[in-house]
A and B are shown apart, each in its own frame.
Chain A
């Protein structure tokens, strides 16, 4: 593969390079720089596409409100009981969800966020710009006191109303996503396993860090490296 072929392939899909493209990238510093530009632009594209979403009715709410269905419900008294039971069931589900509370909600939001970040699935040896890593962490009042290993992606992302550092750390087992969450305090570690991801939210400094990867070993390795490497310089 030559530079032209590489740039065509990377320009179409910079996150999923073929074996040939990876081999070319590893041998061509100019194409590494080009790829880095493309990945940075893609991160901006992704942020740009994420417009605000209005609150909406859920599919489960829509059906009973559809005229034909609603007419059928109100025409038949027995269905009143079914409707009442549904409402009661809904209230119960709501209470359970409320009681299971914010820790699950935080894990869900973290997973929802990384679903928009395909970089978290890319195995690469191309490091992100070290200065940029320091800059993004510093914005959140965090300093690097030691090397946390290969960081292949760094971005300041909007999460729950705050800008948070989003890193991808490459481990021996694969890439691991790390979100530094100054504004999400945690009193104890919370591990979760959802949607094919393994993750943990660990208390750190005044907030927490969320670490998500493909296996518990990857997550543990990344969490230990990150926790050892960062220092909270503002409370």
Chain B
């Protein structure tokens, strides 16, 4: 088996790879959890798990998908362990308002709030597509959905954002 991250050179290569991917993984975890502290914990734990299992990764090209899977699992595991209380969206927005407000343009700030308010089912594939650059096929595999279901969720996510931004489409654009 090819093991690009085995041995000393592999350690260095893997550390560099994690450093490169960490910003995207943190952002993904943030948009998954909608909580900065949880995102930091998730990424920290995920990196530690990834480090321990790095020799099982047999292709550099699949590292991003692999790390994303670990982050998703760690996020699910954390929620399972902590059993967070259900919170209202307004509370979440209020808790994260400094983060949401850190945008230089008004339009970006409004978009950040609109994405924050999207249902998880719509937000997650959108973040994977737009932020992480995954294809709909890759998203379908990650989420265990059909490609058709992913396309529908992505369409509806954008449709919701268009409506929030007052971009009114034609009747054919308004199907739900």
Contacts and interface: CB of A to CB of B under 8 A. Distances in A.
B173 interface: yes
Contacts of B104: 158, 163
A9 B112 CA distance: 24
Interface string A61-101: 11100100000000000000000000000000100000000
A60 B15 contact: yes
A203 B139 CA distance: 40
Interface stretch (A47-55, A124-132, A205-213): A47-55
Contact of A51 (B27, B105, B161): B27
Given A13-B151, A41-B162, A49-B27, A60 B108 contact: no
B47 A51 contact: no
- Which secondary structure dominates chain B's binding surface? helix
Contacts, number: 128
A49 B48 contact: no
A135 B72 CA distance: 41
A59 B54 CA distance: 10
Interface in B54-83: 54
Interface string B30-47: 110000100010011001
Contact of A12 (B19, B40, B54, B136): B136
A112 B168 CA distance: 34
A3 B126 CA distance: 23
Interface in B137-176: 150-152, 154-155, 158-159, 161-162, 165, 167, 169-170, 172-173, 175
Contact of A11 (B22, B51, B155): B155
A111 B161 CA distance: 29
Contact of B161 (A12, A45, A52, A62): A45
A115 B11 CA distance: 24
B130 interface: yes
B161 A41 contact: yes
A89 to B, nearest CB: 9
B51 A63 contact: yes
| Residue of A9, A37, A54, A61 with most chain B CB atoms under a 10 A cut-off | A54
Contacts of A150: none
Contact of A59 (B47, B152, B170): B47
B127 A49 contact: yes
Contacts of A57: 44, 47
Interface of A: 3-4, 7-9, 11-13, 16, 34, 37-38, 41-42, 44-54, 56-63, 66, 93, 112, 115-116, 118, 158, 163
16 contacts: A7-B172, A7-B173, A12-B158, A13-B154, A34-B169, A38-B158, A41-B165, A41-B167, A42-B130, A44-B111, A46-B130, A47-B105, A50-B131, A56-B44, A58-B47, A158-B104
